Structure 1
Amino acid sequence: MARTKEFDPDAALQAALELFWRRGYEATSMADLVEHLGIGRASIYATFGNKHELYLKALDRYAEVRNPPLLDELSQPGSALPAVRTVLRRFAAESASEHQRLNGCFITNTAAELAPHDSAAAHRVEVNWEHLETLLHSALVRARAQGELPPGRDPQALARMLLVLMQGLRIVGKASTDPARVRDATEQALTLLD
């Protein structure tokens, strides 16, 4: 007869996500996970697989939580350009906040730490970036159709530029103690939407 799990797998996955997000993949050992999750190594392996599989599941969870609000925000009916501006300014504010400065963005952290040599992590990063770029592109196409964006502006190129800016904000925000750096860069980039 199979034993009943004595822990909540969703809570354990969330705890793993928070630990990986704060410390990174390489700096997090299985012993750290056992201690932080409060469950045995065998239970971690049986439920999530090895450390790498657990990391990828945590990364998937992060995307599942972060992406729907962006979709809602950028696809609201009505004027599209204010939503794009709001999202960019929120990214800048989050990037300069103490919490984000210490943790950064889990996707961006993964891009820097694992993507160059881990194809599974790189794939997840790329999927997330494609999703964000598509959301931005769709909002900018709507903005152009509504007359908010000058006709000569290329929504695809602007979406890509904004994606790169947003990822850069996360990196600079994590390393810099000067919030004006990310705020000024964001406001300068937003002038390209005028």
Structure 2
Amino acid sequence: MARTKEFDPDAVLHRAMELFWARGYEATTMADLVEHLGIGRASIYATFGGKRDLYLKAYDRYVELGVDWAGLLSQPGPVLPAVRALVERFAADATGPGAERGCLVVNTAVELVPHDAAAARRVAANWDFVEATLTSALTRAAAQGELAADRNPRALARFVLTVLQGMRVVGKGADDPARLRDAAATALSVLD
């Protein structure tokens, strides 16, 4: 008869996500995971697989809990105020509490994508989704007359995505919030 787990796998996965987000993949050892998660190595392997499997599951959890792009950008009415609020939110978050952790998607792109195909697929899927959501919103903005007819919604979406992700990188080491506020303001001026 199988033993009943003496821990909540969802809670443990969340704690693993927090640890990987704070330290990164390479800097987090199995000993760190055992200590931080409060469960044995065998339980980690039996429930989540190895360290890499656990990392990818933690990444997936991070994306699930992250920004509700579709919800924010598909509201009826004007679109550009929602896009502006999103850019301003990223600038504020990138200098707020926990900013030194950055974004787990960006951290994964920098640390694992060059040599891990599964991580690369996940990051690409995330950025493709964000780009498609932004493109759809900006296409709607153009149809509503919020953008000039000669503006390319897809190119603008790619630009906004790149700025948002860049703000997360700069925010990891930024000690000057004005740097990100200025970047956000300049990015928003492109939408005018």
* Aligned residue among 181, 184, 188 for 1:190: 188
Matched letter for residue 80 of structure 1: V
**% identity of equivalent residues:** 62
Task: Name the structure 2 match of 1:155.
Answer: 153
* Aligned residue among 131, 152, 165 for 1:133: 131
Unaligned runs of 5+ in 1: none
Report deviation, 1:99.
Answer: 1.3
Task: Name the structure 1 match of 2:34.
Answer: 34
Matched letter for residue 152 of structure 1: D
Distance 1:97 1:127 in 2: 27
Distance 1:131 1:66 in 2: 13
Any idea what the Cα deviations from partners look like across 1:30-53, whole Å, max 9, x if unmatched? 000000000000000000000000
Q: CA RMSD in A?
A: 0.8
Distance 1:150 1:11 in 2: 47
Matched letter for residue 121 of structure 1: A
Report deviation, 1:70.
Answer: 2.0
**SS of the residue aligned with 1:44?**
helix
Unaligned runs of 5+ in 2: none
Residues 1-194 of structure 1 mapped to structure 2, 5 A cutoff: 1-67=1-67, 69-100=68-99, 102-194=100-192
- The count of corresponding residues between Structure 1 and Structure 2 is 192
Matched letter for residue 175 of structure 1: G
Distance 2:95 2:130 in 1: 20
Distance 1:26 1:135 in 2: 32
**SS of the residue aligned with 1:36?**
helix
**SS of the residue aligned with 1:96?**
coil
Distance 1:17 1:155 in 2: 34
Distance 1:191 1:113 in 2: 32
TM-score, scaled to structure 1: 0.97
Report deviation, 1:96.
Answer: 1.4
More helix as a share of residues: 1
Distance 1:110 1:179 in 2: 24
TM-score, scaled to structure 2: 0.98
